[in-house]
Structure formats: C-alpha cells, structure tokens
Amino acid sequence: MQPTEAQLRSDSPFGEALSPFHLALRVHDLEASKQFYIGLLGSRVGRTDVRWIDYDIGGHQITVHLDEEMTLPEEGDNPVDGDRVPVPHFGIVLELESWKALGERLRAAGADFVIAPRIRFQGEPGEQGTFFLRDPSGNALEFKGFKDRSRLFAS
C-alpha cells in the first residue's frame, strides 16, 4: 500500500512536501540565461546582481551564477524506459494538465528538446509525462507531469 501525500508530508524530516528548494547553477552568459529562463520558460526574476540572477520557477529559487570561463558540463546519460536521460539534471514535478500545456507552449516556441514530451512507464504505478531541455550553458532540466502526484514515489 502506497502512503498518501499527507503521510509523506507529515513523515518527512524536511517539512511540507512542497517547500521551495534552492539550486545554484553556473552559466557562461547571463543574457542567454534570461532568454531561456524568462523568454522560453516564462520564469520570473527575483534578486539580481551583476554576476547572478535568481529565477522563480514554480515557486522554487534557481540561481544562476556567471562563470565566463566555464566549460559545458560533461555529458552523461542513463537509460530510462527507452530514453537516454541526461545526468546530472534537476526537475520540476507538475500536475499532468500543467505539464501538457507547458510542453505544448514550448513546442510551439521552437524549444530544442533533449527528450521530447512523452508518457513514460505507461500502465505502471509511476506513469508520468516527461521532457528534458538544456539551458544555453548545458544545464539539463526535466519537467514531469503526474495525474496523481501522490504516485511520485510509487513502484
């Protein structure tokens, strides 16, 4: 029997299941990051400095730090349900309808998907929509969609 979302939340040492997280990434070009995170994804800007920008992605704080000398991350991948999933990556979990709408909007905007929107693990407890993008500095992002987010950890 799978735990409910309420059980997951109350048993978590981290507090509420939807607490915002913070992630810091290196980028080689702040302006290119704005085009991606604001222009393509539709993120809002939080605090900024000449060398970093906070982006609000679904209530989570993604901070990009300028590193003009950075090299693109070493590309690795892992086979998952027939796809070569970029590793490392970070992801956002959405309700399925929001995931579908975002995928359609990004496709219409000409987004360059690493893995195009599709349903993974069809008919299994962890069935989910997924797609992957890379920002202009090569950082990989995954967007997942679940009909029932309490199934996030189902196996």
How far apart (Å, rounded) are the C-alpha atoms in residues 42 and 153? 28
Average pLDDT, the chain: 88
Residue 111 has pLDDT above 80, yes or no: yes
CATH number at residue 34: 3.10.180.10
pLDDT higher at 92 or 5 = 92
Q: Report CA-CA distances (Å) from 2 to 8, 40, 55, 119, 150.
A: 10, 36, 34, 21, 9
Q: What percent of the chain has pLDDT over 90?
A: 69
Band of pLDDT at residue 126, cut at 50, 70 and 90: confident
Least confident interval from 1-5, 27-31, 141-145:
1-5
Q: What is the pLDDT of residue 71?
A: 81
Helix (H) or strand (E) holding 47, with range, is strand 44-48
Number of domains in the chain: 1
Domain span at residue 141 reads 5-69+77-151
Higher pLDDT, 56 or 75: 56
Instruction: Tell me the pLDDT tens digit for each residue of 63-73.
Output: 999 999 988 76
pLDDT band at 81; cut points 50, 70, 90: confident
Paired tokens of 18: 């939807």
Interval 6-22: pLDDT, tens: 444 455 555 556 678 99
Residue 143, classified by CB atoms within 10 Å of its CB into exposed (0-12), middle (13-18) or buried (19+), is buried
Token pair 């992002």 in the structure block, residue = 141
